[in-house]
Amino acid sequence: MIHGMMDGMSVEEKDQLKLERLQSTLNRAFKNVPFHRNRLLQRDILPEHIASLEDLTKLPLMDRTHLGTHYPYGLFAVPLRDIVRIHTAPGTGPSPSISGYTKTDLIVWKKLVTRSLGAAGVTDLDIIQIHLPPGLANWGRDYKDGGEALGSSVIPNSPLSLAKTLMVLKDYKTTTLITTPAFAQQLVNHMFDHGHSPNRLTLKRVILVGEPVDKATIKDLEQRLHVDAWNHYGLSEIPGPAIAYDCKILGGLHINDDHILPEIIDPQTEKPVPRGEKGELVLTTLSARAFPLIRFRTGDTARLLTDTCGCNSPLMGMEWFKERTDNMIIISGIKVSLDQVKVYLQNALGVEHPECRIDRIRKDGTETLKICLTMDDALFSDEIKELERVIADTEKALAEQVGVPVKIRLVQ
């Protein structure tokens, strides 16, 4: 029964379930969130006009900028008294994006995380160790809840060095590591550089979160660490991790489409692409109470698989690609908006349109946002110390804003 109600359902029954959930989501959003209501009314649409899943395309799309412009609570669909958890993500503009969960949301989310862990073979006999960067701390909590619900022993997320993490991994007999691809790679390199044999670990699997991982990387990691590696798809803003999870039989991810409905659109025309074609992933929550998303543009590139899976999962299949359709860069699984960084630099340095190149660099298990800033007259100061101070302050403040470490270098 890992798929709850979806087990044993025909395609028609699944569609009915999704339609029922979609309709009540729309009714709640329309009634409680002025943003959603106004956007529907502008188009002369009422929730009751959505009579089939295909009608979803009649609804307007939303994206990350809407999350920032309705800061802090503008998109909440329940009174604040019903909220039991509040999460913050960096957002794309000056304001962060905030999402909330009701008690029921947490129950549903826990079920989805449990399902996704279960699909990777995690049971109550496992010891789960969570190692995620501070920007993905929200996911750490969700994985902890899901792991505990499954009956596993969970070592929650805490900021440890590479060496200490390895010690815990070895001494606590961790069987399941949940981390980012970047950290997993660093861990393996560290182990081999320092002569630690993977045979001394009890690790059975690594769950990689935050960004897509190609098959070659998975295979390499599996061979070097003697584990199974699984990729999970999630959103750092909302509602959390494990929206989709790897299936070894499918050769892709199963998306929890009983609670989150996927669509693929052409990012330019915003029209749906034929089933099976690649495009931008758009998600609609079907059971979220506090923070419903209606046709949310993720910026991720994916395609929906058309074949049914040999694992008998009733959930839809999805392939997730590295490219993005928006102007964001993934650092340690956290999406950083390049526009936001540029606006921030502009304000902090008092320079209009600062010329810069933005990259990610990976060192000692952490990824850093590296900004190469071109020196010009406006930026130049006789006082080297003063310039260094400005740069250091900017690094610190920007890191807090985007949730990942920032390194600024001045170039000619």
Partner 1 sequence: MLKIKNLKCSYGSIVAVHGVSLSVKKGDLISILGANGAGKSSLLLAVCGLLKTWEGEIMFQDKTIRGMSPPAIVRAGISMVPEGRQIFSPLSVMDNLKMGAYTRYHSSSKHGIAGDLEMVMEMFPILRERAYQLAGTLSGGEQQMLAIGRALMARPKLLVLDEPSMGLAPKIVSMIFKVIMDFRDHGVTILLVEQNARAALKIADRGYVLETGKMVLQGSADELLVDDDVKRAYLGQDYGDFYDGREG
> Minimum Å distance from CB 26 to partner 1?
9
- Other C-beta atoms within 10 Å of 255: how many? 24
* CA proximity to 146, closest of 98, 207, 201, 203: 207
What is the helix (H) or strand (E) element at residue 410, kind and residue range? strand 406-411
From the list 43-51, 151-159, 163-171, 345-353, the region that binds partner 1 by CB under 8 A is 43-51
* CA proximity to 219, closest of 231, 229, 209: 229
Amino acid type, 193: D
Distance of alpha carbon 321 from alpha carbon 220, whole angstroms: 18
> Minimum Å distance from CB 51 to partner 1?
5
**Binder to partner 1 among 1, 11, 44, 51 (CB under 8 A)?**
51
From the list 101-109, 169-177, 244-252, 301-309, the region that binds partner 1 by CB under 8 A is 101-109
**Binder to partner 1 among 47, 68, 181, 299 (CB under 8 A)?**
47
Helices (H), 88-206: 103-119, 137-150, 162-171, 181-193
What is the helix (H) or strand (E) element at residue 42, kind and residue range? helix 34-42
**Binder to partner 1 among 3, 62, 68, 76 (CB under 8 A)?**
76
* 155 touches partner 1 (CB under 8 A): no
Q: 85-121: string of b/e by CB count within 10 Å (b at 16+)? A: bebebbbbbeebbbbbbbeebbebbbbbbbbbbebbe
* 5 touches partner 1 (CB under 8 A): yes
* 289 touches partner 1 (CB under 8 A): yes
* 103 touches partner 1 (CB under 8 A): yes
From the list 72-80, 159-167, 355-363, 365-373, the region that binds partner 1 by CB under 8 A is 72-80
Separate counts of helices (H) and strands (E) for the chain = 10, 18
**Binder to partner 1 among 88, 95, 104, 158 (CB under 8 A)?**
104
**Binder to partner 1 among 65, 71, 73, 118 (CB under 8 A)?**
73
* 256 touches partner 1 (CB under 8 A): no
Tokens of 167: 């010690």
> Minimum Å distance from CB 117 to partner 1?
19
Tokens of 94: 């000056």
**Binder to partner 1 among 79, 151, 276, 350 (CB under 8 A)?**
79
Distance of alpha carbon 378 from alpha carbon 36, whole angstroms: 44
* 108 touches partner 1 (CB under 8 A): yes
* 102 touches partner 1 (CB under 8 A): yes
Q: 202-213: string of b/e by CB count within 10 Å (b at 16+)? A: ebbbbbbbbbbb
Site for partner 1 in 16-35 (CB under 8 A): 16-17, 19-21, 23-24, 27-28, 31
| Contacts with partner 1, residue ranges (CB under 8 A) | 4-5, 13, 16-17, 19-21, 23-24, 27-28, 31, 47-48, 51, 73, 76, 78-82, 102-104, 107-108, 287, 289
